[in-house]
Amino acid sequence: MIYKSIVHIAFLGPKGSYSHIAAMQYASNRHFNQVIEHSCRRFDDIFNLVECDHAEYGVVPIENSNSGLIDEVGDLLLNTRLLLVDEITIPIKHCILVNNHTDINQIQIIYSHPQPVQQCSEFLKHFSAWKIVFCESSAVAMETVSKLNQSNLGALGNKQGGQFYGLHSLLTYNLSNSHKNTTRFIVLKNTNIAVFNHSIATKTIFIISIKGQSEKLCEILKVLQFYNTKITYLRPRLLSYERPRNIIIIELMAHINNVYIQHILIELQKIAYSLKILGCYQVTPLTDVIFHYNRKLL
C-alpha cells in the first residue's frame, strides 16, 4: 500500500469518461488521501504531463476485450520514457445518454468516442439512420449533448458519467457486441515502483520493434516457446506498409529478474530492431469498480 497525501493523476477527460472512472478507482485502491485530477483532451497530453512531472501518474486505456489494442496508446509507448507501474481493468457498460425527455425514436445524431462505436457496432446497425459525430472521449460526447440541449441528440457513454452532465440514460443494458466488455488501463509513472517479492504475481511488459514481417515474428515466437513462459498478452501492430515495420507488445507473467526472462530478453534483443522494457509490476486482483465510483458521486 502507498500512502501519500496529495497525488496528481492525469487521464483522458473530462469528468465522467471511462478513463476518469479508472483513474479514481486506482486512487481509491492505493488509498491516496487527496487527488488532484488533470483531465486531458488527448492521450499524448497525458504522457507529456507525467514526463514533465506535472502529474505523478497517468492512466490510459491499453486494451479492450472487444476491440483490442488502443493503437494510439501502443504507438505512444514506443517513444515514451515513462514506465508502467500498475494496471486496472474496469467493466465497460455503454448506454445512450440524452437530455430530459428525449425518446430513442427522436434521436438523429449520436456523439461518441470511436471506441464505443466500434464496441457497439452490432447495436448501431439497428439505427443505421443515426449520424455519428466522433469526439475526443465519451465524456466530451456527453458534455456536448448536454450543452446543445436538443431532443434529437444522444451520446454513447456510461450511466454514472451522464450524471455529471444532467443526462438521462436510455437502454442501460449492455450495448456492446459481446456480453462481457472490459477495458484494461495502464498506470504510467516517471520512476519505477520496485517489486521485491518475486513469489507474488508479477508481470513484465516490453515493446519490440522489428523490420520486415513474418520471419522475425516467427523467430520471436520460437524464443518464447522455447522458454515456456506464461504469455498474458502479445499483440503485433503494423506501423508502415511501404517499409514493413511492426511493433509488438509482449507481456509475460514473471519478474524481470527471473532467469528465464533475462534469457528471453537477451535472445530477443538479437532479433529485434529495438527492445524496450515498459515495466514490471505486481498484478492486483480485480476490484468492485462501480461501487467506489458511485460512492464518490452520491
Ligand X SMILES: O=C(O)C(=O)C[C@]1(C(=O)O)C=C[C@@H](O)C=C1
Give residues in contact with ligand X (CB under 6 A). Answer: 12, 17-19, 61, 64, 70, 92, 113, 115-116, 137-139, 183
- State in angstroms the smallest separation of the CB of 61 from ligand X: 4
Residue whose CB is less far from ligand X, 92 or 110: 92
Residue whose CB is less far from ligand X, 154 or 204: 154
- State in angstroms the smallest separation of the CB of 18 from ligand X: 4
- State in angstroms the smallest separation of the CB of 263 from ligand X: 35
- State in angstroms the smallest separation of the CB of 138 from ligand X: 4
CB 90 within 8 A of CB 59: no
CB 151 within 8 A of CB 99: yes
- State in angstroms the smallest separation of the CB of 211 from ligand X: 29
- State in angstroms the smallest separation of the CB of 268 from ligand X: 28
- State in angstroms the smallest separation of the CB of 281 from ligand X: 20
Residue whose CB is less far from ligand X, 118 or 282: 118
How does 72-86 read in b/e, with b if 16+ C-beta sit within 10 Å?
ebbbbbbebebbbbb
Decide: helix, strand or coil at residue 170.
strand
Residue whose CB is less far from ligand X, 64 or 258: 64
Residue owning grid cell 488532484? 36
Length of the chain: 298
Residue whose CB is less far from ligand X, 136 or 219: 136
CB 236 within 8 A of CB 247: yes
- State in angstroms the smallest separation of the CB of 109 from ligand X: 18
